[in-house]
Structure 1
Amino acid sequence: EHFLPRIIQHITGQTKVPFGDAVVSTADTCIGVELCEELFTPASPHILMGLDGVEIFTNSSGSHHELRKLYTRVELIKEATLKLGGVYLYANQQGCDGDRLYYDGCAMIAVNGKIVAQGSQFSLNDVEVVSATIDIEDVRSHRTPKSRGMQAAGAERYQRIEVPMALSGESQDFLGDVPISKGIEVRYHKPEEEIALGPACWLWDYLRRSRTQGFFIPLSGGIDSCATSVIVYSMCRLVSEAAARGDKQVIADARRIAGETSESIWMPTDPRELSNKIFHTCYMGTENSSSDTRGRARRLAEAIGSYHIDLNMDAIVLAVRNLFAVVTGVKPKFRVHGGSEAENLALQNIQARIRMVLAYMFAQLLPFVRGRAGGLLVLGSANVDESLRGYLTKYDCSSADINPIGAISKTDLKKFILYARDAFKLPILDDFLNAVPTAELEPITETYVQADEADMGMTYDELSVFGRLRKVEKCGPYSMFTKLLHEWGTTLSPDQIADKVKRFFFEYARNRHKMTTLTPSYHAESYSPDDNRGSILE
């Protein structure tokens, strides 16, 4: 037993309370409590509780979102009551915790292995209530098999806390007024829909918490910054839909973020108009940039309504090169101009890092330029595969305040762009899907155009496979090689597979220093390389 603090003793008249596992027994049923991850463990408490007569199980969960995770959660909830019999009340946290996790809600009620009520998985609402009408006698009928009774007879007993009340009403006619809830088909979002909704809700919560006036992103004309921008546009769509439904909290937040006065009657019901007020995109070109990427960036900004600027930063890059030449007497050259590998890499990196510096300058001053107060959050757009491989410049424009795609694979991002093209009516996205991924940090010649996958020595699809095998399936180099022999053996020789595995682990190991400074990103995959996470995600 546990002694209560004296201040509570004075209020309740109790000196001690029982300490440990117990169940609550009412006049008409028995209720047990299971917490969060206990649902996912092999010996979940609901098993012994159910054998001891508990009929209703509650779970106040804090289960964060991951792509494709909802199916696992639903199956565990259904299985908890299918063999055992019972009612499972599952409530989940909803919203951003101010860090990398997003809790996706989706409260559920299950009866005897069937889902009878389901809440929304992604929502801008802070609270959502789900209800169902059930007949507790259905649980008792489900528990009649003799084999179950034999196991229940020898099961561990829980201390019961008796409560002099009943959950059901006294009127015998009550059930005639309200029909019993039947099993429903569970609503699952496709992974590309989850990318459109989860990070969008996360961004909105982050924007509200930070008290900033919007977002800024260097829009390169490539698919990664395109995906990040479309997620912001998805956020604007969700906000506009909530405003159209009359959500007072969303409307008030949108007005404050957009810099409207307290007397304003402006309604954020047009996503493109909202995007123009709070989302700022910038194409930062150099002599190595192509007209194709510049044009794609401009057309995407027009399609989603962002406040777009276009600049050329050659003068700054040249100033840095000249400063180095004055100090050292050596003027570095690109590889195609006869320079060494060290010179070529340094000239690429300085372009990338200047973009980061410019991004923060514009993020701080663009609201001022537009006659508003405050600043903007800078968005990063490095995907999880590039981070695993270390294919990024440390402290380039992948260094930002937050990154909505930092734990999403290139493969899933392409599927998301394809989905958004039709769902959001953005035909410009076809141009991004058909473009060859390139950093555009080296001069383009008749015989050479920089391409990401050629630089990395592996494809983005291969990187996704490496990432999952390394972290999710706990594979080292040898076990990864043996698994891939079965998966890739029909198209690649053992030597080719071995070379790819060795190259991946070599690059992964030597680029670990980059992982320690990764921009905080939305947690969407279980194989993220981010070192700054808690132990639950390692």
Structure 2
Amino acid sequence: MRQTLTIATASINTTPLDLDGNLALIRAAVADAVQQQADVLLLPELALTGYGCEDMFFSADWVSGVPAYLSQLAETLPPSMMVAVGFPLLITGGQVFNAVALLSQYQVHGVVCKQHLARNGIHYEPRWFTPWPAGEVMTLELAGQHVPVGDIVFEVEGIRLGFEICEDSWVASRPGRSLYERQVDVIMNPSASHFALGKQKVRRQFVCEGSRAYGAVYVYTNLLGCEAGRAVYDGDAMIASNGELVMSSDRLSFAPWRVQSATVDIGLNRSQRMISSQRLQPAEQRGIVIVPFDWQEEDYHRALSPQTTFADEDPHAAACRAIALGLWDWQRKTYTSGYALSLSGGADSALCGTLVWFAQVQAVLTLGEEAYAQTLAQGRINVALRGDKPLLAWIHDDVMPNVLTTVYQGSAHSGNVTRNAAAGLADEMGALHYDWSIAELVAGYLKLVNDLTPDDPMTWERDDLALQNIQARVRSPGIWLIANRQNKLLMATSNLSEASVGYCTMDGDTSGVLSPIGGVSKSRVLQINRYIMEQGIPLQDSPDLPRLALAAMEAIVNQAPTAELRPVEQTDEADLMPYPVMDAIRRINQTQNVTPKGVLQVLLRGEYAQMYSKEQLVAWIKRYFGLYCRNQWKRERIAASFHIEADSADPKTYRRFPILANQLKRELAEMEAFARQL
């Protein structure tokens, strides 16, 4: 029996429904794993089809064609390596299962099916898949072979391999316990776990604890990139042996695939099972599949992978990288010529534009100039290679004027502070920037309406909201026209905080194909902008340029957020409440699923109870829920956005709420009654 194994993980940037493209990426990853002399390669969950195929998983004609691609992959595998790949399994005449197949050259050795389906957060797996019952095994004809399917363990020359598939490892009754009882040596976890701030720490815990508690090598790999348009996958990959992390990947790479490996000692992990106080039953041999396969000859001179460090997450850097990777994937997967942006000189649009710039720099560094230029050409952007020109100068002079078009659309109430801030930021990035006034357009619409009621013209005292909204809406057609003419994607600039309460103008600042910061709270937007100014965003694959900063962000950071839609001085927080408080209310409500009374109880135990009176907190909670309940129709129409924080305002993938409801009147009254008793 082999004493050691070299195990590789592959994170790949799949595209839903693109079986041929995904297969090509998988084959490229296999080639890299061969170069690393891997014995086993683990690919992510549903890697063959893509995870986000949505209701195409209901298409029997389509799903039934997937096993043929397993055969195509197996035919091209090297003789000395096994590959585990995720795919949807349709049992003819029955239902669809989320599965992983273990392959070697020309062979499909068996299929393990997911037992616990993700149904929380942004995941709706029970809509498409059926959970596999623990302990059940059957035989199916698959890709022309009779294959064992179900809750099985593979034994390969005395080494046992088992699987937990993503959500399986997040539940209390995880299959790892059963795998331990069947004396599994290597537990592999193919995942499609969306990015969210703080989530990597949880993954690390169950990977290391799974290795320690089950006396096994634990292998984890995740999808990479913005696969289907909303969720971003971070390409996280980890291997733990004897309870210690021996491999941890860089996350959020702009590479189309990334393969990393570790050499681990099987015997060392078995020794932990020997001393475990959890009794192993010798008769516990159900679902063991003996695989006729010869490992490559052991290399006794190959060093074991040492314990590796695990750096704490930098939340601002991680959020920037996730959004930038999403922007890059939207740009290349839609074959468009970059982005158009109404650059207001405020915090939200500034961050959107900055992350387009960062995405271009990081893409060049990771892909190389030739591959990057080829990708741009697919979106009708042709740039000459930079030659001797410094990288950032080339991006500024040759790339950004073609990739990002910005327009400052001043109104009668705009000032030079925002105008100059927008111009300065666009200039430092190299964006193609325009400046025009919407004042005449607004005046034209007001004349049309006032001519209908000449004796009753509109006034700010009576028509405040309408007069604000017409300015925001008039900005939409012009920037849309530029986007259409230049084959660009129009970015909306709504953030998570304001989208949650509907503090936005439909068909105004919400206009766009994509809202890049729709998953980022306003508090964090402000913090990130300062971070970009003071520290810069860390870059990967860039020894000579470790961080990317923008000095022009100072003019953005030094402003109070304002919509500039009223003739008098206006700030967003005066219209709403302090952003940190509003974000706390939103986060408590959406992650803890409590009523207004529950939100107040949490706030009273925290820092804001020391800063504000009980009466003020009650008033702000009422304000939040009043806006939240009234504006669900707005959230239904907001452009697609990336999931970045723990919660989201997206009703299609995270938070569902009725469009018509009773405004939570009873629950708000209950909160007020509770507050009066204190």
Per the TM superposition, whether the score is higher than 0.5 is yes
Indicate conservation of the 8 Å contact 1:359/1:397, yes or no.
no
2:464 paired residue number: 344
Contact 1:108 1:118 in 2 (8 A): yes
Inter-CA distance 242–284: structure 2 relative to 1 (3 Å threshold): same
Amino acid at match of 2:474: I
Corresponding residue for 1:311? 436
1:153 equivalent to 2:281? Answer yes
Alpha-carbon distance in 2 for matches of 1:66, 1:21 = 30
1:155 Cα deviation (Å)? 8.9
How far 1:234 sits from its partner (Å)?
1.0
Please state how far the C-alpha of 1:196 moved relative to its aligned partner: 1.8
Q: What residue identity is the alignment partner of 2:508? A: D
Matching residue's letter, 1:501: I
* In structure 1, C-alpha distance between the alignment counterparts of 2:656 and 2:457, rounded to whole Å: 46
The residue correspondences of 1:136-285 to structure 2 (distance < 5 A) are: 136-148=266-278, 150=279, 152-153=280-281, 157-167=285-295, 169-171=296-298, 174-176=299-301, 178-243=302-367, 245=368, 248-257=370-379, 259-260=381-382, 265=385, 269=391, 270-273=394-397, 274-285=399-410
Q: For residue 156 of structure 1, report the CA deviation from its aligned partner.
A: 5.6
Q: How far apart are 1:98 and its partner, in Å?
A: 2.5
The residue type equivalent to 1:382 in the other structure is: S
Letter in 2 for 1:361: L
Paired position in structure 2 for 1:101? 231
Secondary structure of 1:153's aligned partner: coil
SS at match of 2:264: coil
Aligned pair count reads 504
Asked if 1 retains the 8 angstrom alpha-carbon contact of 2:336 and 2:380, the reply is: no
Query: Is 1:121 the counterpart of 2:251 in the alignment?
Result: yes
* Whole-angstrom distance in 2 between the partners of 1:515 and 1:330: 37
Q: In the aligned structure 1, how far is the partner of 2:412 from the partner of 2:456?
A: 17
> Which whole-Å CA distance do the structure 1 matches of 2:314 and 2:276 have between them?
42
Work out whether residues 407 and 525 of structure 1, in 8 Å CA contact, stay in contact via their aligned partners in 2. yes
Q: 2:150 maps to which residue?
A: 20
Seen in structure 2, the aligned counterparts of structure 1 residues 534 and 249 have a Cα distance that, compared at 3 Å, is farther
Distance in structure 2 (CA, Å) of the matches to 1:143 and 1:414 = 50
Check 1:285–1:536 CA distance in 2 against 1; reply closer, same or farther (3 A cut). closer
Equivalent in 153, 162, 185 of residue 32 of structure 1 = 162
The answer as to whether partners of 2:651 and 2:657 remain within 8 angstroms in 1 is no
**Aligned-pair distance for 1:331?**
6.0
CA distance in 1, matches of 2:472, 2:530: 28
User: What displacement does 1:158 show?
Assistant: 3.3
| Superimposed CA distance per residue, residues 106-149 of structure 1 (whole angstroms, 9 cap, x where no aligned partner) | 2111112211112221111111111111111111122222513x
Once the two structures are superposed, what CA deviation does each residue of 1:276-335 show, in whole Å capped at 9, x if it has no partner?
A: 221011100011101100000000001111000000111111110001112232564443
Q: Determine if the alignment matches structure 1 residue 412 to structure 2 residue 557.
A: no
Does residue 451 (structure 1) correspond to residue 571 (structure 2)? The answer is: yes
Q: Which has the higher strand share?
A: 2
Shift of the 330–345 alpha-carbon distance from structure 1 to 2, 3 Å rule, reads farther
Structure 2 gaps of 5+ residues are 1-136, 537-547, 659-678
Whether the 8 Å CA contact 1:321–1:331 is kept in 2: the answer is: no
Structure number having the greater helix percentage: 1
1:308-457 paired onto structure 2 within 5 Å? 308-329=433-454, 332-335=457-460, 339-340=461-462, 343-365=463-485, 367=486, 375-421=487-533, 422-423=535-536, 424-444=548-568, 449-456=569-576
Identity of aligned residues (%): 28
Q: Secondary structure at the match of 2:289?
A: strand
> Measured at CA, do residues 441 and 306 of structure 1 come closer, stay the same or move farther in structure 2, by a change above 3 Å?
same
Do the aligned partners of 1:408 and 1:525 also contact (CA within 8 Å) in 2?
yes
For residue 485 of structure 1, what is the aligned residue in structure 2? 604
CA apart distance, 1:473? 0.9
Is there any run of 5+ residues in structure 1 with no aligned partner, and where? 368-374
> TM-score normalized by structure 2?
0.71
One-letter amino acid of the counterpart of residue 653, structure 2: R
Residue 518 of structure 1 corresponds to: 638
How far off its partner does 1:20 sit? 2.2
Name which of structure 1's ranges 501-510 and 304-313 shifts more when overlaid on structure 2.
Answer: 501-510
CA deviation digits over 1:430-453, x for unaligned, max 9?
Answer: 221120111000113xxxx11100
Amino acid paired to 2:250? S
Counterpart selection for 2:626 from 506, 530, 537: 506
**Could you list the per-position Cα deviations for residues 251-299 of structure 1 after superposition, in whole angstroms to 9, with x for gaps in the alignment?**
31023335228xx656794332322221011100011101100000000
C-alpha deviation, 1:100, in angstroms: 0.6
Quick check: 2:526–2:557 contact (8 Å CA) kept in 1? yes
Residue 165 of structure 1 deviates from its aligned partner by 2.7
Q: Taking structure 1 as reference, are residues 22 and 63 closer, same or farther at Cα in structure 2, changes over 3 Å only?
A: same
SS at the partner of 2:514?
coil
Change (3 A) 1:481 1:224: same
* Partner residue in 2 for 1:65: 195
| CA contact 1:70–1:188 (8 Å) conserved in 2 | no
Shift of 1:75: 1.4
The code of the aligned residue for 2:416 comes to: S
Q: Is the 8 A contact 1:216 1:280 kept in 2?
A: yes
1:69/1:352 CA distance change after superposition, 3 Å: same
Q: Which TM-score applies when normalising by structure 1? A: 0.89
| Match in the other structure for 2:260 | 130
State whether residues 80 and 113 of structure 1, in contact with CA within 8 Å, keep that contact through their aligned partners in structure 2: yes
Displacement of 1:512 in angstroms is 1.4
1 CA distance for matches of 2:256 and 2:308? Answer: 25
